[in-house]
Structure 1
Amino acid sequence: MKIHLTSVFVDDQAKAEHFYTEILGFVKKHDVPVGEQDRWLTVVSAEEPGGTELLLEPAAHPAVKAYRDALVQDGIPLAQFAVDDVRAEFARLRDLGVRFLQEPLEMGPVITAVFDDTCGNLIQIATEPQ
């Protein structure tokens, strides 16, 4: 068994597509219309195009707002992405205007940082030092 697809709820799929591809560097994998306004919109790592897909899922379900608001209020990231060097990625993203809520922080054997994805979520990046 392996993880094939996971999702993040987003307020606006077009805005999310821009952020996740143009800022974070993911690559669009699927973009299929679903209904009148929504899309089955997935992205993958440019480093692993056949890897796990991230669905940029519309946040339309009534439970989503309360769930995401509670996570953001408590500073809990919705997802975590692995990077080779958190400090370098932090600097790159900050230079692109990404708003960080937690700068790089050593947490035992890992270094993490947390940012706002502009789509209603907190995302953590992490690396395990060699």
Structure 2
Amino acid sequence: MAITRDLFAARNRAFDTVLELDYPGDELPLTGAIISMQVRLYAGAGGPPIFEQTGITFSDAAIEDEPGWRRLTVEPNFPRSDLEAGTVPTGLNKPEVGEADRFEYEITLTYADSVQETLWTGGFYLQPGVDLT
């Protein structure tokens, strides 16, 4: 069920997005489940992630005009302080001045029985931003 999708953030503001995944069939067993997101320098990078969020807000509901389909909505967010240059490394993938640093992210659903499923994965582009207010 994994979706590959690049995400874009800026160092000068909080990252806040809504991701939706439509799927057919019965409701997922989400009681006691958690959704988390990790951002790393590259896929498979060891050690702690550059930043992460556990306990991401999510919801699951039937799609009214599409019988037999459901929509999982996931809302990851990171405060500006987690994304600033002093917190997140820059220049690791040698971007040109003003270009985004590229990292990799993965959003994982962990069911109550500890079984895990990747929901989204892809590039996490962290742009320098312009407005520093």
TM-score scaled by structure 2?
Answer: 0.27
RCO comparison, higher one (Cα < 8 Å, 6+): 2
Structure 1 or 2: larger strand share? 2
- Which of the pair has more CA radius of gyration? 2
Structure 1 or 2: larger helix share? 1
